[in-house]
Structure 1
Amino acid sequence: MAQNRNTSIKQRNYLVNSCMESNIRYRSENTIQAYPSSSSIKVDNKKNQLPKMVITRRLWLLIMAITVHNIPEGFAVGIAFGGLGQYSRTTFSQACNLAIGIAIQNFPEGLAVSLPLYSSGYGFFISFWYGQLSGLVEPFAGLIGCLAVHFFRRLQPYALGFAAGAMLFVVVDDIIPESQSRGHGRLSTVMALIGFAIMMCLEVITET
């Protein structure tokens, strides 16, 4: 009797232990399957990122707008120096002031091209080179404006208006919404106003 009782107790303990082990194994397998792996988490994070095509489109719009904006500025400098001795209102000091003012404003324009490229993952040299390329059109445009003063003097207001419209379109349509979407809306607005005030001061300086 005692032997049979001990045997039944051992069998019952064996069954209980087997059930507990199978339950633990089942729960551990389900827990491992329930949580995603690190690779799947990285893929999900990549899905939430902005596509590189959209980033490249915005950057190239900005580069093209600044490049187009620099062409009539080169015309203006070329016309100012090419008109010396041909127009009584044009003086050498005014031409120099205009060239200096446009040269000063080319610094932030180059940074506006280089910094977004660098922050988007492009190398330092490539970002710097594209910033320089956006301003290399000015000497050629200035040479053309100097050689054909009479023609480009009539065309200058329309070219400057077109360049200003292109810059405004890119800034209002892409750059301002992008700066507002990253949680720095007030700072970006204040910096835009400061930049506008600086450019207006440069405009007044070049006109005097």
Structure 2
Amino acid sequence: MRLVVVSAGLSVPSSTRLLADRLAAATAAQAPAEVRVVELRDLAVEIAHTFTNGFPGRELSAAFDAVRAADGLIVVTPVFSASYSGLFKSFFDALGATEQDALAGKPVLIAATGGTARHSLVLDHALRPLFAHLKAVVVPTGVYAASEDWGAEGLDGRIERAAGELAALMGGPSTARKPAGNTAGTVAVDAAQVVPFEERLAALRPAG
């Protein structure tokens, strides 16, 4: 499987990239996948040129191809003015301009970083509506990391929960079969038994 991580961090080192890497590692541990990281900072000039000449450059085009081909997507942005960054939004605007339904049906884990916990609502007020508009399947748990969250209780749990939800939608082994070596009571799974995305997503939602 292919897992693509889109990181919109601007600084080096970047807390946004750190969160992206931790989410990717947690997801890949549950749904073994080839991980590719797209650093938007390195694509900023090509993203800008796309809006003036109408065509993505070579590196940006390769990033678009990776996103389209991904079995799962992790997107992480720093918070600016209580919303996602302009670079983050421009990347997905440019992707949509090349293919309107590029993210249709694709499992996406949304995440953000900021200086204060007050901006945590960016996940539900900005990121979730954006990817719903792009027709992606957004996992129920989003991850927000404020400055005080690093090294504190709670962040690891949110990362693991969100990663598990994304892994489930990607078809991770923990949702389809028991660990190797424990064959008692196992049942072979064929293509007819594959659970559709909609049913998997419904199973992840809290009851009631």
Instruction: Specify which structure has the higher proportion of strand.
Output: 2
Question: TM-score w.r.t. structure 1 length?
Answer: 0.26
The structure, 1 or 2, with the larger RCO (C-alpha pairs under 8 Å, 6+ apart) is: 1
Decide which structure has the larger Cα Rg and report it.
Answer: 1
TM-score (norm 2): 0.26
**Structure showing the higher helix proportion among its residues:** 1
